[in-house]
Amino acid sequence: MSGDLPLTKEAILDAAEQVLRRYGPDKTSVVDVARALQVSHGTLYRHFASKASLREAVTERWLHTIIIDPLEIIAVQSGGSAAERLRTWFETLIHTKKAYAINDSEMFAMYAAVTLDAVEIINTHVNQLIDQIARIIEEGIKSEEFKADEPMVTARAIFNATSRFHHPVHAKEWSSDTIEQEFASVWDLLLFGISK
């Protein structure tokens, strides 16, 4: 990076993401990211207080771009069956996380590590997901497809009930030959519970 250009948080996050993919979350240092940007590591500390805060910012951006934004497109759709949209939402979440666990293992490993340490970031992320589910459920209630009384409570319960299929702690189970059938069985039970 040229010393003439101002160093932005986005440029730092871009470089950090590349370096994290190259070396992995455990071996990457702030010095590695600074080297990739051709600046001193002290320069990075003006934007991020620590390696942990830099990792959290990269993870937060990754979660928003890779998970939240695509699911929001499904959540805001209108018309059609709320049950079908809700299933599409969950299948998208599950398949996205599974694909990243396989194809972008370094970023997924960092995400999994951050879920243990950065409680506030993960709580915000989970609440955004639950809000999207609740909006779909609310539309299903309005169209008399669902019978749930409290969309947020129901959304949280469904999210928790399906955690085996999308929480990173279960990632090793996702390659099971029976995982899709297991999700289908759980899904049928959950849908039966909220359908009119």
pLDDT of residue 116: 76
Within 8 A by CB and 6+ apart from 175, the residues are 102
pLDDT of residue 5: 53
Report the alpha-carbon distance of residue 45 to residue 152 in Å, rounded: 39
What is the CATH architecture of 1-48? Orthogonal Bundle (1.10)
Full pLDDT tens readout for the chain, 196 residues: 444 457 888 999 999 988 888 887 778 888 899 999 999 888 888 888 888 888 889 888 989 999 999 999 999 998 899 999 999 999 999 999 999 898 888 778 777 877 777 788 889 999 999 999 999 999 999 999 999 889 999 999 999 999 999 998 899 999 999 999 999 999 999 999 999 8
Could you tell me how far CA 124 lies from the centroid of its own chain? 10
Report in angstroms the alpha-carbon separations of 32 from 19, 37, 47, 105.
7, 9, 16, 19
pLDDT of residue 103: 87
Residue ranges per domain, the chain?
1-48, 55-194
Report the alpha-carbon distance of residue 47 to residue 185 in Å, rounded: 47
On the CB side of 115, CA atoms within 13 Å amount to 15
pLDDT of residue 1: 44
pLDDT of residue 4: 45
Report in angstroms the alpha-carbon separations of 76 from 28, 95, 151.
38, 20, 15
What homologous superfamily is domain 55-194 in, according to CATH? Tetracycline Repressor, domain 2 (1.10.357.10)
